[in-house]
Structure 1
Amino acid sequence: MISKTTIDKVYETARLEEVIGDFVQLKKSGSNFKGLSPFTDERSPSFMVSPVKQIWKDFSSGKGGNVVAFLMEHEHFSYPEAIKYLARKYNIEIEETELSNEQKEQTNERESMYLVSEFAQKYFSEVLWEREQGKAIGLSYFKERGFTEDTIKKFDLGYCLDQWDGFTKAALNKGYQLNYLEKTGLTIVKDDAADKDNKKTFDRFKGRVMFPIHSMSGRVLGFGGRILTNDKKAAKYLNSPESDIYHKSKVLYGIYFAKQAIAKEDNCYLVEGYTDVIQMYQRGIHNVVSSSGTALTADQIRLINRLTKNITVLFDGDAAGLRASLRGIDLILEQGMNVKVCTFPEGEDPDSFSKNNDYEDVVLYLQENSKDFIQFKASLLVEEAANDPIKRADTVRDIVNSISKIPDRIQKEIYIQECAQIMNISEAVLFNTLAQIGKKDVSDANKKIKQEQQAFDVVKNEPLRQKVDVQYELERKIIEMLLLYGDLEQQFEDLVLKENEKGDLVLEPESLDAKVYEKIYLDLQDDEIELANEQFRNIYYRLMEDLNEKEIFSITTFIANLDQELASEISSILMEEEKYVLHSWERKDIFPKDKKVGISQLVSETILTLRCYLIKKRIGSLQESTLNNQEGNMEALEEIMNYIQLNVLLNKKLNRVLS
């Protein structure tokens, strides 16, 4: 168990914007940062990070919290794993106490799979460097590929012994469960035909060099293994099967090592294989990732989109697979990204070219040979069309179809103009073709919607209007004021109920100097008001305790000591108004007033409004009881009249007209 001292030090040291910046491309927006949501598919930023408050909010998914909450949501870390990740990032020594048996049992299944994968990575690396077979076969292979020892260690490369169950036995001897070895795909388990109670186990990656596949935060998700023998029955490359922690369509090889360089260079090189990534990284080009031999997916593109809007796809000199790879370019365009394409000389690929050329030569080649996707697609397809008019028409249609995928209208127009010049065809014809494709897409979408509607018995009812929960909103506002301004000293105009000379009740103002939390506490105490919402009530009492006992109130420290549910609720409250920053009102010459200007007024009006609401609620309750109970009606009616009179006075103070 991690000590409280370590946890406190982690929270004090970790900078939210730095941690999230490793996963999301953030841009300055006033005192905050904004970016695309890492949890949903979007093209306009709705993700906000507050360095001052050290909290984040994703308005598209509703998620929010502190730095630990982000890692738990995004990387599916447990709380201890998130703390350990931050400790490693900021070089903080971790103090741990022994876990109890009960705590060990509570370790969840995903965490167990991560632990098994991390053990496997260390085991395969140890075999590579320390076992004779590993050094003779695995290490020799990597060195023949031109990888230095530092590079091999950097990417955690390894070797799985050419034994049926060498790894499985080692893992079981270390106490790892066969259940998780099977679920991660590291071990294949089969029932023994002769003995049903007995199970046979085999190492999936027997006799292969190992490429660990890391998540964006550096956790081992799965493996790629390359066979070194000429066994025609066995696949050259073998990947871990899909599991709870490894989804190949959502992972990019090398993203953990490349993420900072991608954000810094504002460009990502996309290659095909593991060795392409490693060789280019070794040569000094760090902003490179691979789709690991699988067809590029929208999820993989969105992973890059969090870090940059620019992708350069690198193709081998062999043009055989280029045609099929064009689909990937259309997918990139659909995500609103800018895409360039670079092909290497015939017989070369990113691995061999990086290995055989200096850093400066590689960089220069990439700069000079990276073509706009229109130029690349046109040159590739025009060669195929040659002098065939029908094929040429199909080529034009193919290019316009790619342009139709681009969400931005200005970019579409520019690309149409470029295509017209390259293909020597009028812009008008291309715009008409683009319009036809657009109409077809709309028509297809409408047909799909109609089909879905017909599949269900639709019962038309009047749409239910969701009522605003007034008390919830007012209580939420009270929590917000305590968090933001709780320890600020303000001058309040208090209202005291007095009788005037005529004997009528009137509210007389009295001036009061107090801290915001003191004013709220006294007002709620006077009226014997307790917050109705359980979450707000818990937060309220904790806030009052902190504000009363501590000389300096820190939101970061306060949130760090809460459970994730309460921390998330507080983040939502604090970041609620930050979403309006996303609309860039200043650019529209609209300048919102700073809330700090009228804190005392805001506090007083919120408490008064809550009083009025509760009075109205009480009046309604009394009226209902008089209808159901005839006895004691006079007392109830008198109480109702007193409440109505008080309600009128309070609403006058709020400058409200009552019907």
Structure 2
Amino acid sequence: MISKSTIDTVFETARVEEVIGDFVQLKRAGSNFKGLSPFSDERSPSFMVSPVKQIWKDFSSGKGGNAVAFLMEHEHFTYPEAIRYLAKKYNIEIEETEQTAEEKANTDVRESMYLVSEFAQKYFHDTLLNSEEGKAIGLSYFKERGFTNETIKKFGLGYSPEIWDAFSKEALGKGYKLEFLESTGLTINKERLIDRFRGRVMFPIHSMSGRVLGFGGRILGNDKKAAKYLNSPESDIYHKSKVLYGIFMAKQAIAKQNNCYLVEGYTDVIQFNQSGIENVVASSGTALTPDQIRLINRLTKNITVLFDGDAAGLRASIRGIDLILEEGMNVKVCTFPDGEDPDSFAKKNSYEALLQYLETNAKDFIQFKASLLMDESKNDPVKKADLIRDMVTSISKIKDRIQREIYIQETSRIMDISEQVLLNTLAQLVQKDITETGKKIKEEQKAFEVVKNENPVATEKIDVLYELERKIIEILLLYGNKTEEFEDVLLKTNEQGEIEQVAEMKEYKVYQRIYLSLQEDEVELANPLFRDIYNDLIAFFHQNENFSLENYLKELKPEFSHEVTDILMLEEQQSLHNWEGQQIIVKLKDQTIGQYVSETILTMRWFLVDRIIEELKSEISSEPEADNTEPLSMAMDYYKLINAFSKKLGRVMSRYSN
């Protein structure tokens, strides 16, 4: 178990903007940073990071929290995993305390799969470097590819022995469970245990945070029945369509260079990286997917797709370009000379020569499509028309109208055809997409109408109590430890010996005033989440004389993080819901904290009393002989109380408005 001192050091050292910057391209927005949500498909940034408060908020999904919460949400880390990741990132030595049997038993399935995968990577890497078979077969293969020892170590390359169950036996001997060896696909359990990747060189596949998700294994023998490349099967931690090979090593370079080179194979990535070009990832031999594109989109808007000189596969490969355009990204394409691929070309050329080639030969996707398909159409008018339609189809995928216009002009120039014809074709395609989208929306609306008619729901109204309780939490978070003046009403004996109410100003901590007021009224927050957060905050204030929001957020419980960060990130945003009309106080710039707190508490009291009055009204009978004396009397007393609240609110507001 990780010691508290280590956890404290991690929180004190880690910077939320640096941690999230490894996964999301952030841009400065005033005192904050913003970027595209890593949790939803969006084109307008709604993901905010506050360096001052050391929290983040994703307004598209509602998620939020500190650096640890981000890693738990994005990478599906457990709390200890997130702490270990941050400790490694900031070179903090982890101090361990002994883990109880119960804590060990509670380690979840996904974590067990990660641990098995990480053990496998170390095993394969050690076998490559230190076993006779590994050195003779695996290491010699990588050396022939031109990979240095540093590169082999950086990418964690390895070798799986030819023996049927060498890895499985080793893993079981180290205490790893067979169920996790099977669920990760490392072991096949039939009549006997079989290593899936036996006799192959191993390429570990990492998540964006560096965790081992799965493996790609290349066979080196001449067995024609066996697949040349074999990948880990789909599992709870490995989804091939959502992973890009090399993303962990490339993410910082992609963000820095504001461009990502996209290749096909593992060795393409490794050779480029070794040559000095690190902003490169691979789709690992699969057709490019929207999820893979979105992974890049979090780091940059620019993709350069690299194809080898084999023209036969180009036509099928360029289908991925339309997918990239649909995601609102900018695409360039670069091909290598006949007989060359990114791996071989990078191996033969220096960093400067490789970079120069890429910059010189990277073409806009329109130019690339034209040059590729023109050879096929030659002097055939029908084929040329198909080519033009193909190019306009790609342009129709672009969301930005200005960009579409520019590409139409470029296509007109290249293909020697009038812009008007192209614009008409484009309009037809766009209209077709709109019509199809409209049909889907109508179908969804029709389905909704059926449900709505079957289950009529009243127009949604603002939940006043919810908003007031939320304000209580907001005040505690933002101002809880501040000392302010509040009006106390005391009973005193005057000169005539009569008892009268006297208002006096006294200083309280804000949290004390709220706590005492709710205790006095015997009020408990109705919303279960707010009630738990309130109790947690009050306990923290009582236990920490010098309250610090930063320290509270360090220890923030995961179940509170979404709501707390939502409140904090919306601190300065004025409501658009006419709160004043709903008797909900919104702090204005010319208000003091004392006024804000007093108004909120009084308004909450007013609302609760008003609700009691409504309940009393429902008890009043319309029957002629009914005795309504008691409910009417009580209702009148409560009306007097509301009148007192009204006068007091007037005094509070006038006192601060002078």
3-state SS of paired residue (1:121)? helix
Counterparts of 1:555-566 in structure 2 under 5 Å?
A: 555-566=549-560
Matches within 5 A, 1:556-635: 556-577=550-571, 595=589, 598-627=592-621, 633-635=628-630
The residue that corresponds to 1:588 in the other structure is none
2:407 to 394, 410, 415: 415
Once the two structures are superposed, what CA deviation does each residue of 1:224-277 show, in whole Å capped at 9, x if it has no partner? Answer: 000111211111111111111000000000000000111111110101100000
User: Taking structure 1 as the reference length, what is the TM-score of the superposition?
Assistant: 0.91
Q: Distance in 2 between matches of 1:455 and 1:608?
A: 45
Instruction: Note if contact 1:48-1:579 (Cα within 8 Å) is conserved in structure 2.
Output: no
Residues 33, 48 of structure 2: 8 Å contact kept: yes
1:360 corresponds to: 352
Which of the numbers 636, 641, 645 marks the counterpart of 1:646? Answer: 641
Letter in 2 for 1:619: I
CA shift for structure 1 position 165: 1.0
Once structures 1 and 2 are overlaid, which stretch shifts more, 620-629 or 166-175?
620-629
1:128 is aligned to: 128
Which amino acid letter does the alignment assign opposite residue 620 of structure 1? E
Query: Within 1, Cα distance between the matches of 2:175 and 2:89?
Result: 29
Distance in 2, Cα, partners of 1:523 & 1:94? 44
Distance in 2 (CA, whole Å) between partners of 1:611 and 1:537 is 17
Q: How does 1:177-192 map to 2 (within 5 A)?
A: 177-190=177-190
Q: How does 1:141-180 map to 2 (within 5 A)?
A: 141-180=141-180
CA distance in 2, matches of 1:301, 1:16: 25
Could you tell me whether the CA contact under 8 Å between 1:164 and 1:206 is conserved in 2? yes
Distance 2:328 2:248 in 1: 23
Q: 1:554 to 1:453 in 2, by over 3 A?
A: closer
Equivalent residue, structure 2, for 1:255: 247
Post-superposition offset of 1:155: 0.3
Match of 2:324 in 1: 332
Alpha-carbon distance between aligned partners in 1 of 2:627 and 2:448, rounded to the nearest angstrom: 56
Q: Provide structure 2 residue ranges, at least 5 long, that are not aligned to the other structure.
A: 576-585, 652-658
Q: Secondary structure at the match of 2:570?
A: helix
Relative to structure 2, which stretch is displaced further, 308-317 or 52-61?
Answer: 52-61
Matching residue's letter, 2:132: E
244-253 vs 455-464, which moves further: 455-464
Q: CA deviation at 1:440?
A: 1.4
Mapped contact 2:616–2:631 kept (Cα < 8 A): yes
* CA distance 1:186–1:633, change in 2 (3 Å): same
| Whole-Å separation in 2 of the counterparts to 1:561 and 1:593 | 28
Instruction: Give a deviation string over 1:479-533, Cα, whole Å, max 9, x none.
Output: 1111011122334456779999xxxx99986544433223323332333322222
Paired residues of 2:62 and 2:562 also in contact (CA < 8 A):
no
Question: Displacement, 1:66?
Answer: 1.4
- 2:475 alignment counterpart: 481
After TM superposition, give the deviation of residue 566 of structure 1 in Å: 1.8
Q: 1:523 to 1:240 in 2, by over 3 A?
A: same
| CA contact 1:59–1:579 (8 Å) conserved in 2 | no
Q: SS in structure 2 opposite 1:458?
A: helix
- Structure 2 equivalent of residue 341 of structure 1: 333
Q: After TM superposition, list the pairs within 5 Å mapping 1:82-97 onto structure 2.
A: 82-97=82-97
- What CA distance in whole angstroms lies between the structure 2 residues aligned with 1:359 and 1:525? 71
- Asked whether the equivalents of residues 469 and 525 of structure 2 are also in contact (C-alpha less than 8 Å), the reply is yes
Amino acid at match of 1:637: L
Evaluate the alpha carbon distance shift between residue 458 and residue 528 of structure 1 in structure 2; reply closer, same or farther with a 3 A threshold. closer
Q: Tell me, yes or no, if structure 1 residue 514 matches structure 2 residue 501.
A: no
Aligned equivalent of 1:10: 10
2:202 pairs, out of 197, 206, 210, with 210
2:3 maps to a residue whose letter is S
Q: 2:419 aligns to what?
A: 427
Matched residue SS, 2:56: strand
Provide closer, same or farther for how the CA distance between residues 168 and 418 of structure 1 changes in structure 2, counting only shifts above 3 A: same
Mapped to 2, the partners of 1:453 and 1:544 lie a distance apart of 46
Give the TM-score of the pair, scaled to structure 2: 0.91
Aligned CA distance change for structure 1 residues 463 and 208 (closer, same or farther; 3 Å): same
Distance 1:344 1:593, change over 3 A: farther
Higher-RCO chain (CA-CA 8 Å, sequence separation at least 6) = 1
Residue in structure 2 matching 1:546, options 540, 547, 553: 540
1:269 match: secondary structure: strand
3-state SS in 2 of match to 1:133: helix
Check conservation: 2:184, 2:235, Cα contact below 8 A.
Answer: yes
Q: What is the aligned residue count?
A: 635
Looking at structure 2, the residues matched to 227 and 141 of structure 1 have their Cα atoms a distance apart, in angstroms, of 11
Please state how far the C-alpha of 1:314 moved relative to its aligned partner.
Answer: 0.7
Question: 2:205 is matched by which residue type in structure 1?
Answer: I
Q: Deviations over 1:113-155 (max 9, x none)?
A: 1111111101001100110000000000000100000100000
Q: Which amino acid aligns with 1:73?
A: E
Task: Check conservation: 1:210, 1:223, Cα contact below 8 A.
Answer: yes
| Secondary structure, counterpart of 2:412 in structure 1 | helix
Residue 518 of structure 2 aligns to a residue whose secondary structure is: helix
Partner residue of 1:76? 76
SS in 2 for 1:77: coil
SS at 1:414 equivalent: helix
Q: Percent same amino acid at aligned positions? A: 68
Distance 1:14 1:463 in 2: 47
| Amino acid aligned to 1:325 | S
Say whether residues 1:469 and 2:496 are aligned partners: no
Q: CA RMSD in A?
A: 2.7
Q: Which residue of 2 aligns with 1:118?
A: 118
Q: For residues 508 and 268 of structure 1, do their structure 2 counterparts lie closer, same or farther at Cα, with a shift above 3 Å needed?
A: farther
Closer, same or farther in 2 for the Cα pair 1:579/1:67, shift >3 Å? farther
Shift in Å, 1:107: 1.1
Following the alignment from structure 1 to structure 2, what is the Cα–Cα distance between the partners of residues 472 and 443?
41
1:46 and 1:226, CA in 2 relative to 1: closer, same or farther beyond 3 A? same
Q: 1:653 offset after TM fit, Å? A: 5.0
Distance in 1 between the 2:122 and 2:140 partners? 19
Q: CA deviation at 1:540?
A: 2.0
2-structure distance, mates of 1:552, 1:637: 49
- Is contact 1:507–1:649 with CA below 8 Å preserved after alignment? no
